[in-house]
Amino acid sequence: MKILVLNGPNLNLLGLREPEIYGARNYAALEAYILNCAAELGCEAQVRQSNHEGVLVDWIQEAYGKFDAIVINPAAYTHTSVAILDALKAVQLPAVEVHLSDVTQREDFRQISYARLACQKTYMGLGFEGYKKALQYLVQGEAESSAPCFSVRV
Ligand code: DQA
């Protein structure tokens, strides 16, 4: 199984960026963690990060026919991007949303997630482990092929 793991803006600054919220480990450590989890699960992961909404949209589009599923932490674009939602809906790949922090405990403007409407599952507030849970969910075949699930934590 081939899984595309996408990370949005400012996640490249992990370690430097608000460590009390996002932790002390840097982005290279996150990438290594995800690749290691994928190897343990026997799947192939490609991990990418961009600060640009259009680049994330391009990568979601390009995943069609090349990847079996998407894990996405859209970062700040979670709360603003209909374009990312539309791209996820267009390619219809099983998708899982991840956030390092528990956004439900944060500012009002973080309470909306557009991407979530096209995701089967959301893991948040678990730090790096959220990515592992997302990969496990997809690999262990719990992923539904069609309708998104809206019953997960909002
Ligand atoms: C985040 C939460 C978002 O609200 C924020 O804009 C981020 C990171 C998280 O992983 O906790 O950049 O997606």
Taking 3-state DSSP, the helix, strand and coil percentages for the chain, each rounded to the nearest 5, stand at 45, 15, 40
Nearest residue by C-alpha to atom 13 in ligand 1: 75
CA distance 146 to 100: 26
Q: How confident is the model at residue 141 (pLDDT cuts 50, 70, 90)?
A: confident
pLDDT tens digits, residue range 46-85? 999 999 999 999 999 999 999 999 999 999 999 999 999 9
Instruction: Show the domains of the chain with their CATH numbers.
Output: 2-153 (3.40.50.9100)
Query: One-letter amino acid identity for 151?
Result: S
pTM of the model: 0.92
With a 6 Å cutoff on the Cβ, whether 101 touches ligand 1 is yes
Q: What is the mean pLDDT of the chain?
A: 93
CA distance 65 to 137: 20
Q: Which of 43-47, 103-107, 140-144 has the lowest mean pLDDT?
A: 140-144
**Whether 99 is catalytic:** yes
Average pLDDT over residues 24-50: 98
Residue 8 CA: nearest ligand 1 atom is: 12
CA distance 99 to 138: 16
CA distance 33 to 132: 8
**Whether 22 is catalytic:** yes
User: Which of 6, 10, 78, 105 for a ligand 1 pocket mutation test, highest count of atoms within 8 Å of Cβ?
Assistant: 78
With a 6 Å cutoff on the Cβ, whether 73 touches ligand 1 is yes
With a 6 Å cutoff on the Cβ, whether 51 touches ligand 1 is no
pLDDT tens digits, residue range 91-123? 999 999 999 999 999 999 999 999 999 999 999
CA distance 154 to 148: 14
The pLDDT, as a whole number, for residue 53 is 98
